[in-house]
Amino acid sequence: MKHIYQQGSRPEAPTLVLFHGTGGTEHDLLGLAGRIAPGAAVLSLRGNVLENGMPRFFRRLAEGVFDEEDLIFRTKEVYDFLDEAAAKYGFDRNHLVAVGYSNGANIIGSLLFHYARAFRGAILHHPMVPRRGIELPDASGLPVFIGAGKNDPICTPQETEDLQALLSGAGADVTVHWESYGHQLTPSEAAAASSWFAEHFGGGDSR
C-alpha cells in the first residue's frame, strides 16, 4: 500500500495509523496527527481502491451501500499490511492507535469488527456501521472516540448510535462527541479528539 512513515520523537507514545476519506491521500491527516499526538510516530495509508479516480479503502455499490465482499478483502489487506509495516519500520504492532475520517473511519471500524485487538485505540471521525448481523470480537476496555454530526447527511445520528451500541456491546469504552457541522471534520472536533487521546494515552496537545 502507498504510505508515509514518520519516525516519532516520543518512543513511548503509540504509533498513529491514519486513514483518509474518499478522494484523499496519505498526506491529508498528517496535520491532524500532529494535533492529536505531537511527537508520535505516524503511519499514513492511501486506499488501494479508486472510485472515479478518487482513492478509497474499499468499494461501495452506492452512497452508503458498501460492497461487503470487497470490504472484507480490503480489511484483511490492511491488517496484513500493518504486520508488514511493523516489521519493516520497527514499531510495536500492539501499540497502534488508528485515526480515520469518513471512508477511512469505516475501514477502521471494519478492522475492529473483524479482528480482536487490531488497535490499542481508535479515533473515528464520521464513521458508519461497517457490517451488520455479525458477532464482534472481544473489545474489552478498548478506547474508541467517535466524532459525529447531529445533522450529518451521510452518517445519520442513528448510524452513530448503532455503531456506539455495537462496539460497547463488544466491551469497548466508547466516547461520542457531537457537532452540528454536517459531515465536516472541524477544528473543535479535532480538539476533542486530542483531549480524548491525552486522557487515554498521555501527551496530547494542550493548546
Residues 49-78, mean pLDDT to the nearest whole number? 94
CB-based contact 81:89 (threshold 8 Å): no
pLDDT tens digits, 142-185: 999 999 999 999 999 999 999 999 999 999 999 999 999 999 99
Residues 5-34, mean pLDDT to the nearest whole number? 96
In this prediction, residue 85 carries a pLDDT of 98
Cα–Cα dist 151/111, whole Å: 26
pLDDT tens digits, 109-120: 999 999 998 999
For residue 207, pLDDT beyond 60? no
Beta pairing partners, 19: 45, 100
pLDDT tens digits, 34-48: 999 999 999 999 999
Catalytic residue among 70, 183, 195, 200, which?
183
111 within a domain of the structure (yes/no): yes
Burial of 130 (0-12, 13-18, 19+ CB in 10 A): buried
Catalytic residue among 20, 125, 152, 194, which?
152
207 within a domain of the structure (yes/no): no
Cα-to-chain-centroid distance, residue 58: 14
Backbone angles phi, psi at 96, to 5 degrees: -115, 140
Residue range(s) defining the domain that contains residue 130: 3-201
For residue 122, pLDDT beyond 50? yes
The predicted model scores a pTM of 0.95
Residues 19-38, mean pLDDT to the nearest whole number? 96
206 within a domain of the structure (yes/no): no
**Please, which pLDDT band fits residue 205 given cuts at 50, 70 and 90?**
very low
Cα–Cα dist 180/195, whole Å: 19
Cα–Cα dist 45/57, whole Å: 9
CATH classification at residue 102? 3.40.50.1820
Residues 67-93, mean pLDDT to the nearest whole number? 97
Q: Mean of the per-residue pLDDT values for the chain?
A: 95
Q: What percent of the chain has pLDDT over 70?
A: 98
- Annotation says 28 is catalytic: no
173 within a domain of the structure (yes/no): yes
174 within a domain of the structure (yes/no): yes
For residue 204, pLDDT beyond 50? no
| SS3 at position 62 | strand
- Annotation says 183 is catalytic: yes
**Please, which pLDDT band fits residue 202 given cuts at 50, 70 and 90?**
confident
The C-alpha angle 12, 83, 103, rounded to 5 degrees, equals: 90
Residue with cell 519500520: 89
CB-based contact 47:56 (threshold 8 Å): yes
179 within a domain of the structure (yes/no): yes
127 within a domain of the structure (yes/no): yes
169 within a domain of the structure (yes/no): yes
- Annotation says 102 is catalytic: yes
Cα–Cα dist 97/112, whole Å: 12
Residues 42-62, mean pLDDT to the nearest whole number? 95
The domain total for the chain is 1
Catalytic residue among 44, 102, 110, 194, which?
102
